[in-house]
Structure 1
Amino acid sequence: MDIIETKRLILREWKMEDADSMFIYAKDPAVGPIAGWPAHKSVEESKVIISHFLDHHPYCYAICEKDNINHAIGSIELKINSDLAINRDEAEIGYWLGKPYWGRGYMPEACAALIEYGFLKLGFNKIWGGYYDGNLKSKRVQEKLGFKYHHTTEGLELPLLNEIRIGHVNLLTKEDWLKNK
């Protein structure tokens, strides 16, 4: 897995040693549920999640500030073979960030770097982005990056939260990305 560097951030592979920092942010009920997953209940749960990332998600990165690369403050991923990214030249971007780091422009910065990596290094031609109704921060990140509205789906089941939600889907093509780069 490549390390991706931005002006202020390092995107690197998750390590089991990141469980403590993941738990600090993932236990916050303002972080996970808006993205569709429950707040973590223990460091052990965070370890299980990290283990799953390492085993099954080849493009899932811990987000770290450059001056503290051993402290993960969030996560970002290009998911392949997801509900949205069904073709080999497509991926779906997903992300979350610890609440103390909201409002600093970190997520658009991290997403821009991973999108560039996905288009130029991994050869994707489409990157999908989604967010649940009410997650205006995620919507705004995608707008800043040039994603275009594609469709809305009602009645999405979120079994981890035992909820039904409305989901909004956006798309960024490599062609559009290159035009606006």
Structure 2
Amino acid sequence: MFPERIETDRLVLEALSRENVDLFEFYGLCSVDAPHIDEVTEHLSWDPHRTPNETREFVDAMEENRAKGAGAEYVVRPAAGEDGAGEIAGATGLNVDWDRRTATFGMWLRKRFWGRGYSGERAAALFEVAFERLDLEVVAVEHLDGNEQSKRAIEKYVERFGGQYDGLLRNWQPDADEVRDSHRYTVRREQWKRNRDETEIASFG
């Protein structure tokens, strides 16, 4: 159902699985000791991993999610010619609500890979998965209130594909001892079709 591998001009997305990822390498990037991890996870829904077992459980859960058809998670690697080519730069994915015909995108990147426009590039590829391969009707994306970096990236590609800002979701995301507000954006399939650049087609494997 979901492609195992997605290639764009500058990125390679591989299914997050034990086959594609060394658990200890991935733990090193997600752990409490990873460089800049507090900045990376400040506005995310997960906390840094404290043990390799947490990473194993997370990867296993993502594999199970994919097998059930509920969503797909990918590690993000810069392609050949990019600074850091072949390294794990972060992860991205889409969760599917089949009853609502909607996919929800998510992404995180290590700090050294911020500011390269990778968010918009992988979003363009995932729109193609959601609308062409899965035949869904809406893509949604959210960012927590205060996450200005994600806001700028999301607004840029949502505007590019003709989508809109839907509004503020109050008390939407539990986070430790508080519940944070979240901002929601959506793109409909018809909007994407009118605004996509057909010369920028990702390849799937």
TM-score by length of 1: 0.87
AA at the equivalent of 2:56: K
CA separation of 1:175/1:11 partners in 2, compared to 1, >3 Å: closer, same or farther?
same
Indicate if the aligned counterparts of 2:173 and 2:182 stay in contact, CA closer than 8 A.
Answer: no
- Measured in 2, the distance between the counterparts of 1:131 and 1:54 equals 24
Between stretches 15-24 and 36-45, larger displacement belongs to 15-24
The question of whether the paired residues in 2 share the 8 Å contact of 1:129 and 1:170 is answered with: yes
Q: 2:38 aligns with which of 29, 33, 36?
A: 29
* Contact 1:25 1:99 (8 Å CA) reproduced: no
> Which AA in structure 2 matches 1:154?
R
C-alpha spacing 1:148/1:24, structure 2 compared with 1 (3 Å): farther
Which structure has the larger Rg over C-alpha atoms?
2
Where do residues 69-80 of structure 1 align in structure 2 (5 Å cutoff)? 69=86, 71-80=87-96
Question: What is the Cα deviation at residue 86 of structure 1?
Answer: 4.9
Shift of 1:114: 0.9
Matches within 5 A, 1:1-181: 1-2=2-3, 3-16=5-18, 17-27=21-31, 28-57=37-66, 58-67=71-80, 68-69=85-86, 71-81=87-97, 86-87=99-100, 89-146=101-158, 147-158=163-174, 161-181=176-196
Give the aligned residue type for 1:15. S
Cα RMSD, aligned residues only = 1.9
Question: Percent identical across equivalent pairs?
Answer: 26
Query: TM-score w.r.t. structure 2 length?
Result: 0.77
SS in 2 for 1:175: helix
CA contact (8 A) 1:153 1:166 kept: yes
Q: Is the 8 A contact 1:90 1:128 kept in 2?
A: yes
Runs of 5+ consecutive residues of structure 1 not aligned to the other structure: none
Q: Which amino acid aligns with 1:51?
A: D
- Between the aligned partners of 1:120 and 1:178, the Cα distance in structure 2 is 10
What SS does structure 1 have at the residue aligned with 2:56?
Answer: helix
Distance 1:52 1:177 in 2: 30
For residue 89 of structure 2, give the secondary structure of its aligned residue in structure 1. strand
Classify the secondary structure of the residue corresponding to 2:42.
helix
Is the Cα contact below 8 Å between 1:107 and 1:141 reproduced in 2?
yes
Give how far 1:33 is off: 3.2
Further displaced range: 36-45 or 127-136:
36-45
Q: Unpaired runs of 5+ in structure 2?
A: 32-36, 197-205
**Count of residues in Structure 1 that have an aligned counterpart in Structure 2:** 175
Task: Give the letter aligned to residue 154 of structure 2.
Answer: Q
Cα 1:21–1:101 shift into 2, 3 Å: farther
